[in-house]
A and B are shown apart, each in its own frame.
Chain A
Amino acid sequence: MSDSLSLYIDRRSGLHRLNPLTKLTVAGFCLIAGLSLPGLLSGYVLLIGVLIPLSVWGSVSRAFLGRTWKVVLPFVISVILIQGLLWRGGTPLVAIGPISFKQEGVLFAVTSVGRMLAVVGSFLLLSLSTRPDSLMIGLTQHGFSASVSYIILTTLQIVPRFQAKARQILDAQRARGLETEGNILTRLKALLPLLGPLILSSIIEVEDRAIALEARAFKRSGPKTSLQVLHDSAPQQAARRLMLIAAPLLVILRLVFEVVR
């Protein structure tokens, strides 16, 4: 069983050493740029010109390309089919009887796939090269809620444990003769004896975990410190500021472009 839902891959790379907030800003900027830049190939340019080189720098290119492809592939197939076949009017590329594949629909699908690649790729790259707790520490140090940060981090770590517990309960109930396989009705009937213990044990766990957190001064107000050192530098801070200014400008330029067109 995996220790966490996190996609993080531990490497000693320059990308890994960047401040998590810098990587988050890059991901956010790529998302906005991917959606705002005009042109058929803007998403692909971001992928090939920015994200893939960054993934190579971070020694995570293989995982980056593999995971991006896996996430985007179902979207690619469906968007090309839907847009190609259902585009109203347009120039038919291929026609079989009343069904025709439209050129405009395919071009729109290609643009959408490019944007999707930029959006998914930017956040996958962030996930592969950034420890979730480092990112949350960085955000918390800049005023992000400690409670929300805790919820995000524990979800990443506890969901696999929750799945393991569900499997244990399932095995225990099977050992007592519970039918869990067969038609839909049998499966539905098996749900209640599974959900009962799972929900009850989770409620008990919540109380225990709350006590454990209280015992670690979780609710203490006042400044907090961190064992982890998040490296930062003046160039990184400048780059973050630049991207934070450029991102809304891109959106405005795109809106102006659309109005003028």
Chain B
Amino acid sequence: MIEVENLSYTYPTGHQPALRDLSLRIPEGQFCAVVGANGAGKSTLCRALTGFVPHFFRGSLTGSVRVAGLEVARTSLERLVGTVGFVFDDPFNQITGARFTVREEVAYGLENLGVPRDAMQLRVDRALEDTGLADLAERSPYALSGGQQQRLAIAAILAMEPRLLVLDEPTSQLDPVGSRQVLSALERLTEVRKTTVVLVEHKLEWLASRVDRVLLLADGRIVADGSAQEVLTSEAVQENGVRQTRFTQAARLAREAQLAPRNGSLPVTLEEALAFFG
């Protein structure tokens, strides 16, 4: 589904590369999380996967990114958007302002794609249902809370039925209630739809029990790649400015205080922590 080969990229105003010789393969249907400290290159990777790098941000790019068989650098954004969906952090700025109800806002992308009205209605209803917004369909998008607006942004992209959904810190500007709403919607989505998802997110406890794979980025490179258990308990996580889950931290402290066995893997989820502490 995603094939990234030796990707390096520097922003037009950047003094050093935001991504450095990065290679990556993500198979169809995989739910992949990207973690890393600020400036690690997470957002740039999202932009490269969705084509906004280099089409929107310009800059200098070497290497290649292929998504669903499309060479991203050689495919126009208007062609890519039917295949790749992109949701970013600011819920307010993702509302187009061109439509006056939630339902119409979700339909906006489909209108631009020229989807026939009957099919459009079905896809809009399904996206609203999947994101838990069906009851708010006739409200103004601006009358929604931050969490609801972010779910609206996700619904609007989902309705376009992309094969790859890229979400760049979708909960970073939300309060705890809004974050829970968005993450629950995302959880439903990954269960119901088998879309390939790349998610940049700092809520590691939530990620740990749900994603198939975690990539740790630092200084524009992938420094760890594996299951949540492998990556989030590795030394690389701490070395690169990412905190561990509170379950891993508790288990480490317990080991240091000789309150837990020295062998065996550290937990990253609540279930693993319960098993770890017996």
Contact = CB atoms under 8 A, between A and B. Distances in A.
Contacts, number: 111
Contacts of B120: 225, 227
A216 B121 CA distance: 16
A223 B94 CA distance: 24
Contacts of B88: 208, 211-212
Nearest to B81: A217
A62 interface: no
B78 A157 contact: no
Nearest to B78: A220
Contacts of B52: 211, 214
A225 B111 CA distance: 5
Interface of A: 3-4, 6, 131-133, 149-150, 153-154, 157-158, 161, 205, 208-229
B97 interface: yes
Given A209-B96, A215-B81, A215-B87, 12 more contacts: A3-B143, A4-B142, A154-B98, A157-B97, A215-B85, A217-B113, A219-B77, A220-B81, A220-B113, A222-B114, A224-B114, A229-B117
Nearest to A165: B92
A153 B87 CA distance: 22
B114 A223 contact: yes
Given A3-B142, A214-B56, A215-B157, A225 B98 contact: no
A137 to B, nearest CB: 9
A225 B56 contact: no
B104 interface: yes
Given A208-B93, A214-B52, A219 B78 contact: yes
A227 B77 contact: no
A154 B93 CA distance: 12
Contact of A224 (B77, B92, B111): B111
B110 interface: yes
B80 to A, nearest CB: 9
